[in-house]
A and B are shown apart, each in its own frame.
Chain A
Amino acid sequence: MFVIRNGVVRPGLHPSGWSGLLILLALAAAARAQDRNPFANDPKAVDAGKSHFRINCSMCHGLGARGGGRGPDLTLARKKHGNSDAALFRTIHDGVPGTDMPAALGSVGVEMKDQEIWQVITYLRSIEIKTPPPAGNAANGKALFYGAAGCSKCHMVDGKGGRLGPDLTAVGSSRSLESIVDSVRNPSRQLADGYQTVTVVTAEGQETKGFIMNEDRFSVQMMDTSERILLLEREKLRSFKKSSVSLMPPYDTTQLSDKDLRDIVGYLLAAGAN
């Protein structure tokens, strides 16, 4: 049984005794409605969508949708889970299983009906960066990433590389060129989520540096700079010091020229597009 609400078919209680034909017609209308934004380019919908975005989305995606600690930059024309209106609607409406992205209804802290989702999409279209700065030479960037620049010692793309830093396979679809460049030049400005630097000293006096994979009041799970997973009990440690300084060294222009960095970013953007 179905009820039709705001153009979407949901399981639920049958509202009346109408025939199956009406339901089929409504189903078809609902399917069409989900492919097309009824508020496209409507300035009033931009304002309404901005409010809904602030209330429901800015917690993770930032007040101006430029990305926060948890969510990608949504001003990019390319969206990680699909660029079309229909794909965006689906992403917002259903959420993304396995990530922090919740469904628009029935999730704690988020509540948007279909009309409000379309208004948010209208707002996002209004702030989309249509012509991003030109990226560099992806082929040269790939060579640098796995070669002279040493990025792959700590970062993976498509399953190849190290484990000490975030996997960068999809970074090109979630962060802007400027943001990626800034992370390379100033890696400690904002540590990537899940990569808190830590130095521990064991009871035997062994000092180890790495990042925290998980922790609670009584235990710590960390990866050291040799990519060993260490399982530690806090009470047995001589010291445990977190640091806001990234394990990644800052790359200035003497170590990595602007051109080479642009090429590396070009490679990451191309990888993200795939």
Chain B
Amino acid sequence: MGAVNTLLRHSLVLAAAVWYAGYAFGQVTFDRLVHSSREPQNWLTYSGDYAAHRFSALDQINVENGHSLVAKWVYQTGASGDGSNGRFETTALVVDGLLYGTAQDGRVFALDARSGRPIWKYQRQLPTDIRPCCGRVNRGLAILGDKVFFGTLDAHVMALDAKTGHVVWDVAATDYKKGYTFTVAPLAVKNLIIISPSGGEYGIRGFVDAYDADTGRRKWRFYTVPEPGQPGNETWEGDSWKTGGAPGWITGAYDPVSNQLFWTTGNPAPSNRGEGRAGDNLYSNTLLALDADTGKLNWQFQFTKHDTHDWDATEVPVIIDMDGKHLIVQANRNGFFYLLDRAKGKLLSATPFGAVNWTHRKDAEGRPAPDPDTEPTPEGRRLCPGAYGVTNWFSPSFNPNTGLFYVTANENCDIFSTAPQTYEAGNAYYGSAYRPADDSPGQGAVRAIKPLTGQVKWEFQHVSQSASGLLSTAGGVLFTGDAQGNFILLDAAAGNVLWHFQTGGEIHSGPMAFAVDGKEYVAITAGSALYTFGLP
């Protein structure tokens, strides 16, 4: 592999931190993950819980006192903060007073969650010829037992000792030279570490993997592009399935009752050119319901068939039980809010939550279907949303108290034009070009959606598009951020501003909340720093 791992341990700091905080690291069991709501002081998975609500039951910071929030501590990762190597996209985990996160270029760190002081740091030495399409980013970790797990930009899956940062195991999932990278935060389910690659812009063949948390041995793999003989292969022209893309680069959800893992996939490859891959191109842009033990496909729902506009479905799927209905919902990049029955994947409704001009009809299942003449052309075709989508990977939030689903929504239109390419392993494989239309609004907002109807209850407007995830809490508040560096607190019921703080760097990740010594904190990344805030 050639990669040399380095470890910077701060054992004296560790000893001091453990001594003065009086913490004893507890094993993170599967039972704790299933019942994460019992310990709101901790943030145990990327989205905060298996249902992917990105909701905190902490209520110390609330509508009444939110205006008085102050910065508590800031951790500088040492990565470039100008975005040239990608942005700082991690969602930190917190377990019993210790905070874990990742940063660009294979950085992993553990901090004293009360002071921000480092316990240990790790940085992977990456090969020079990795091919991350969209920055040398990483979105976070999974934690199980006494280990933290993450994926690397050279397509390895790794386990580090949660107390020391020592490498416990390191497994090459696939060949990074073909364009595979890992940027997603894995999900720990039972004794498995679930992960899926990025690389839809490189003609990879996507998959979802499950690794034994103790040994790193791969237990199952589900290819998101079926091979000949498998159902779905008929949706690919000729050998196009071999380079079909469909990467699963955002963390999914898990339903412990049905033992179903919900994972989403991105665009088919080449990402913006349908010529040569005629058909629906399963399972690109799809929500997959997989048996968590075996990876067997239970059902699937494809949001955008035969995509030529880069409308990945890699937006967090959210499990909601409401009015006796067992649902899974997604605000999709193509501009529709989808409501599905969780047991069988039946589409119940699809409602636009932003400006779309690509569809005026629905197929037999009720799925929005593209109008004729929406494909890219040599001269260029204007379509809304553009490739960035009405929303994207940044996390939504569902607040069971307000019953509202919150999402960052951006209004944009692109000109899609053709640019034929031939596949070459490891090279970018787009097949077309896109650029903002001259009249593209470029406007972002937070929208609060009533899940059962898709109706927007309120909206908070940003001054430009935003890539901020959202966090709602039992304090009746909602955290968001903007491209200008503001971290913003809203009233979750009405959307009015309660507080804001200028971080100095674009917000390009999702907030999370935790508590130490009975004090609630909220954390967000911006620039090259992790900021925390709390009451005075």
Q: How far is the CA of A107 from the CA of B133 in the complex (A)?
A: 8
Whether A51 contacts B428 by the Cβ 8 Å rule is no
Decide yes or no whether A22 CB sits under 8 A from chain B. no
Q: How far is the CA of A3 from the CA of B128 in the complex (A)?
A: 10
| Minimum distance in angstroms from B82 CB to a CB of chain A | 11
Contact of A108 among B134, B427, B435, B462 (CB under 8 A): B134
Interface extent on B, as a size class?
35 or more
Residues of B within 8 A of A63 (CB): 380, 415, 417, 433, 435
Residues of B within 8 A of A11 (CB): 128
Residues of A within 8 A of B420 (CB): 51
Whether B435 contacts A113 by the Cβ 8 Å rule is no
Q: How far is the CA of A54 from the CA of B436 in the complex (A)?
A: 13
Indicate the member of A3, A11, A58, A216 with the most B CB atoms within 10 Å: A216
Chain B minimum-CB-distance residue to A50: B419
Q: How far is the CA of A10 from the CA of B500 in the complex (A)?
A: 44
| Minimum distance in angstroms from B413 CB to a CB of chain A | 14
| Minimum distance in angstroms from A96 CB to a CB of chain B | 13
Contact of B488 among A3, A54, A58, A217 (CB under 8 A): A217
Residues of B within 8 A of A111 (CB): 131, 133, 427-428
Whether B435 contacts A68 by the Cβ 8 Å rule is yes
Q: How far is the CA of A107 from the CA of B436 in the complex (A)?
A: 19
List residues of A (68-126) whose CB comes within 8 Å of B's CBs. Answer: 68, 102, 106-109, 111, 113
Whether B486 contacts A217 by the Cβ 8 Å rule is yes
Whether A58 contacts B428 by the Cβ 8 Å rule is no
Decide yes or no whether A13 CB sits under 8 A from chain B. yes
Residues of B within 8 A of A113 (CB): 427
Given contacts A55-B428, A217-B488, contact A108 B500 (CB under 8 A): no
Decide yes or no whether B463 CB sits under 8 A from chain A. yes
Contact with A along B56-91 (1 / 0, CB 8 A): 000000000000000000000000000111100000
Given contacts A54-B419, A55-B428, contact A12 B135 (CB under 8 A): no
Decide yes or no whether A5 CB sits under 8 A from chain B. yes
Interface extent on A, as a size class?
20 to 34
Whether B484 contacts A216 by the Cβ 8 Å rule is yes
Decide yes or no whether A215 CB sits under 8 A from chain B. yes
| Minimum distance in angstroms from A1 CB to a CB of chain B | 11
Chain A minimum-CB-distance residue to B83: A108
Decide yes or no whether A59 CB sits under 8 A from chain B. yes
Chain B minimum-CB-distance residue to A216: B484
Whether A217 contacts B463 by the Cβ 8 Å rule is yes
Chain A minimum-CB-distance residue to B84: A107
Decide yes or no whether A18 CB sits under 8 A from chain B. no
Q: How far is the CA of A216 from the CA of B497 in the complex (A)?
A: 14
Indicate the member of A13, A63, A108 with the most B CB atoms within 10 Å: A108
Given contacts A55-B433, A109-B134, A217-B488, contact A5 B129 (CB under 8 A): yes
Decide yes or no whether B421 CB sits under 8 A from chain A. yes
Q: How far is the CA of A273 from the CA of B284 in the complex (A)?
A: 51
Residues of B within 8 A of A52 (CB): 419
Contact with B along A239-254 (1 / 0, CB 8 A): 0000000000000000
Q: How far is the CA of A258 from the CA of B38 in the complex (A)?
A: 77
Residues of B within 8 A of A190 (CB): 438
Whether B127 contacts A13 by the Cβ 8 Å rule is yes
Q: How far is the CA of A50 from the CA of B432 in the complex (A)?
A: 11
Whether B435 contacts A217 by the Cβ 8 Å rule is no
Chain A minimum-CB-distance residue to B3: A13
Chain A minimum-CB-distance residue to B428: A111
Given contacts A55-B430, A55-B433, A108-B135, contact A216 B485 (CB under 8 A): yes
Chain A minimum-CB-distance residue to B482: A217
Whether A216 contacts B433 by the Cβ 8 Å rule is no
Given contacts A55-B430, A58-B435, A109-B134, contact A217 B500 (CB under 8 A): yes
| Minimum distance in angstroms from B257 CB to a CB of chain A | 40
Indicate the member of B129, B419, B421 with the most A CB atoms within 10 Å: B419
Whether A12 contacts B128 by the Cβ 8 Å rule is yes
Decide yes or no whether B372 CB sits under 8 A from chain A. no
Given contacts A13-B128, A51-B419, contact A58 B463 (CB under 8 A): no
Additional A-B contact list (18), CB under 8 Å, known A12-B127, A217-B484:
A5-B129, A12-B129, A13-B128, A50-B419, A51-B420, A54-B418, A54-B432, A55-B432, A58-B417, A59-B434, A63-B380, A63-B415, A102-B84, A111-B428, A216-B485, A217-B463, A218-B486, A218-B500
Taking beta carbons and an 8 Å cutoff, which residues of B are in contact with A?
Answer: 2, 83-86, 127-129, 131, 133-135, 380, 415, 417-421, 427-428, 430, 432-436, 438, 462-463, 482, 484-486, 488, 497, 500, 502
Q: What are 9 A-B contacts defined by CB distance under 8 Å?
A: A11-B128, A54-B418, A58-B435, A63-B435, A107-B84, A108-B83, A113-B427, A217-B484, A217-B488
